[in-house]
Structure 1
Amino acid sequence: MGPIGIFDSGYGGLTVFREIVKKLPLYDYVYLGDNARVPYGTRSFETVYAYTKECVESLFSMGCHLVVLACNTASAKALRTIQQKDLPHCPDLRKVLGVIRPTTEVIGLHTSTRHVGILATPGTVKSASYPIEIRKFFPDITVFQQACPMWVPLVENNELDSEGAAYFVEADIKRLLHQSPDIDTVILACTHYPLLLPLIRRFMPPSIQILPQGGLVADSLADYLKRHAEVEMLCTKNGRTHFFTTDNAADFEERAGRFYGQAVKASELKMQF
């Protein structure tokens, strides 16, 4: 038995993690942020897969049987390969889940016009993961994507209220909505983006619903554990949480609180690459 592992390329996954802890507070968790190698969004599929696999294996070595990739880029570029290529060769029961499916399998409940917008990193947009997954569940929905390459750096550097942040957020929203006047629901397909919600709401028409992923992923994980007793019974329940980063722990602690909503204590974990 062991904790549930939560992985992200940096800090953004903490916005998902806080919703998971809020929904499922009794479980033990280990969070790993690969801050030394962020950003993932502009890296190749091969590199993202290699980095993600190494971090997932680190969480497995800590006793995790279930790992959630709380990162859209890792979910888009690495999850399927890990599930199909690596997990079948594991000696015991191990599962890896992502954040894309929990979002796409419920999107049809939120849109009336069946025109949905995606705001994401260039890597997630290039992967076409959201259009592909949404089409599986709701073939009648048309998906429009907009890459937002500056949003993550703005969040990482705490430029949430700057003129530059306002400029890029407004410009990318305009580019998305220009693709279709009928978009009525927009998915924030990056876990950093909830920190920009005040700016996003400022420039998004009030008639358009904005969907951050944290609550959707937390609900999906709770449902998964109910449906998979063989996995749930391997998850320890002492309400303990541990944080790891591949970069300087003090730097991680300084920034992580903005994403997680409270102060955290972290340890450094060295990677091979």
Structure 2
Amino acid sequence: MIHKKSIGIFDSGYGGLTVFKAIANKLPDYNYIYLGDNARAPYGDHSYETVYQYTLECVEWLFEQGCPLVILACNTASAKALRTIQQKVLPVKYPHHRVLGVIRPTAEVIGNYTASGKIGVMGTRGTINSESYPIEIHKFFPELDVVQQSCPMWVPLIENNEHLQEGADYFVQEYMDQLLEKSPDIDAILLACTHYPLLIPKISKLLPEGFKLIAQGDIVADSLSLYLVNHPEIEELLNKDGEKQFFTSGDHLVFDKNASIFFDKEVMSQQINLKI
């Protein structure tokens, strides 16, 4: 049923599909397995310990399906779980597997998007409270001023398909105002949650001309492409049948209906049982 040697892509829910779409467009030949942990989403307000445990369970499930490389297409999981998995789990249990996140690839290029030297970062509470973006960005662009804003209502609005309704306008305006009040000289905003690109039509209306709004999909896709070039020992393990499989820990019928909004194509998934 499951083809071995696929690239695994994980998210707490639907948001990672925006990254998956960009990856599949950039690298269409590879086989992919997407796993959304919808039954336990959203991850944004969970503790480090809980996010780590949930993420590890999903990563190990993808390993069991024959994925030697897994992308955490989730900022909260990347912020709270990636480093521990890379440093403590992989060397001991899975020395030939690799897990990558979305924060570092973004931090490596974010300075190219600003003229003022002031970047806004909008994300879940978990991502913002982790301080992962300021830490990583300052490794590559120590001169940048990074201003953060948590947006706890955005993911629930998107997951419930309310993001394009008029009722969402209040929460989009509220968090944008809070961010810009902290630093009016910001000229670029990073959407540090893979759900947030679905709010771009509303966010864009609130920004002046020339303001840069940065989604992560293409950045992560470009980074993965370069990674595979630089790591042939991983690349040569991967099958290239162009197959895409989707799995969810939640109701697969609900997942299929909502996933098509994020992926821009019809999605047919299978439900799996995790430790819930």
**Which of 67, 70, 73 is residue 67 of structure 1 equivalent to?**
70
Aligned residue identity for 2:120: G
- Distance across 2 between alignment mates of 1:131 and 1:38: 25
What is the CA distance between 1:180 and its match in structure 2? Answer: 1.1
**Which of 47, 64, 87 is residue 50 of structure 2 equivalent to?**
47
Tell me the equivalent position of 2:25.
22
Tell me the equivalent position of 1:77.
80
What is the CA distance between 1:57 and its match in structure 2? Answer: 0.1
Question: Does 2:79 align with 1:113?
Answer: no
What is the CA distance between 1:182 and its match in structure 2? Answer: 1.3
- 1:66-122 deviation line (CA, Å, top 9, x unaligned): 000000000000000000010001355100000001111001111111100001011
Question: Does 2:254 align with 1:241?
Answer: no
Tell me the equivalent position of 1:211.
214
- 1:245-271 deviation line (CA, Å, top 9, x unaligned): 001111110110000001111001100
Question: Does 2:179 align with 1:176?
Answer: yes
Aligned residue identity for 2:90: L
**Which of 263, 268, 272 is residue 266 of structure 2 equivalent to?**
263
Which blocks of at least 5 consecutive residues in structure 1 are unaligned?
none
Tell me the equivalent position of 2:167.
164
Tell me the equivalent position of 2:145.
142
Which blocks of at least 5 consecutive residues in structure 2 are unaligned?
none
- Distance across 2 between alignment mates of 1:58 and 1:126: 28
Tell me the equivalent position of 1:126.
129
- 1:154-211 deviation line (CA, Å, top 9, x unaligned): 1111112223211110111111111112111100000000111100101122231000
- 1:10-34 deviation line (CA, Å, top 9, x unaligned): 0000000000000000000000000
Tell me the equivalent position of 1:102.
105
- Distance across 2 between alignment mates of 1:91 and 1:266: 27
Aligned residue identity for 1:22: N
- Distance across 1 between alignment mates of 2:204 and 2:115: 20
Question: Does 2:86 align with 1:86?
Answer: no
State the SS of the aligned residue for 1:203.
Answer: coil
State the SS of the aligned residue for 2:205.
Answer: helix
**Which of 151, 155, 177 is residue 158 of structure 2 equivalent to?**
155
Q: Which shifted more, 89-98 or 110-119?
A: 89-98
What is the CA distance between 1:8 and its match in structure 2? Answer: 0.1
State the SS of the aligned residue for 2:225.
Answer: helix
CA contact 1:150–1:168 (8 Å) conserved in 2: yes
Tell me the equivalent position of 1:6.
9
CA contact 1:118–1:187 (8 Å) conserved in 2: yes
State the SS of the aligned residue for 1:53.
Answer: helix
Give aligned-pair identity as a percent. Answer: 57
CA contact 1:173–1:204 (8 Å) conserved in 2: no
**Which of 35, 38, 52 is residue 38 of structure 2 equivalent to?**
35
**Number of positions where the alignment pairs a residue of Structure 1 with one of Structure 2:** 273
TM-score normalized with structure 1 length: 0.98
CA contact 1:9–1:33 (8 Å) conserved in 2: yes
Aligned residue identity for 1:218: A
| Cα RMSD after superposing both structures | 0.9
Tell me the equivalent position of 2:192.
189
